[in-house]
Amino acid sequence: MEKSSVFFSRNMEPKDQGEICSCLEHIKVVKQGKYLGLPMVITKTKAQIFGFIREKCKKTIFNWSNKQLSQAGKEVLLKAVTMTMPTYAMSCFKLPVKLCKEINAMMARF
């Protein structure tokens, strides 16, 4: 129970939320968070929510740009690491097309 938390819809009455929390004793109420590295709540601004994938890819590519790699080495790194970063999120959610295009553009520039 220490690791457990509950998320309530905004349509649920605060009184009902309190009753549920009291029945479950010391459970945490969360507004927004991550579970297994993915956001628990998806709002209208998917680009902001999944921006962490873009930043992670950008950071990884930037770290590689300082190293002198052959063309084949760059291609292997891109395919093995950068292309796999959004795979888990894509298995659960449909990512915005703009985000996918930005990641592809970063990879092409590298």
Note the pTM of the prediction, 2 decimals.
Answer: 0.60
Residue 60 token pair: 């990884």
Same domain, 12 and 53: no
Q: Which residue range is the domain that position 62 belongs to?
A: 46-109
| Token output for 99 | 């985000």
Residue 39 lies in a domain: no
How many domains is the chain built from? Answer: 2
Q: What is the pLDDT of residue 66?
A: 67
- 50 and 100: one domain? yes
- Give, in order, the Cα–Cα distances in Å from 58 to each of 2, 7, 63, 81: 35, 32, 9, 12
pLDDT of 90 above 70: yes
Q: Per the domain annotation, does 37 fall within a domain?
A: no
To the nearest whole percent, how much of the chain has pLDDT over 90? 0
Give 93's pLDDT tier (boundaries 50, 70, 90). Answer: confident
Is residue 61, in this structure, part of any structural domain at all?
yes
Does 63 lie in the same domain as 9? no
Task: Report residue 1 as tokens.
Answer: 């129970």
The answer to whether position 99 is within a domain reads: yes
Tokens, residue 13: 């009455």
Q: Which of 14-28, 32-46, 80-94 shows the lowest mean pLDDT across its residues?
A: 32-46
Which two tokens mark 22?
Answer: 């009291």
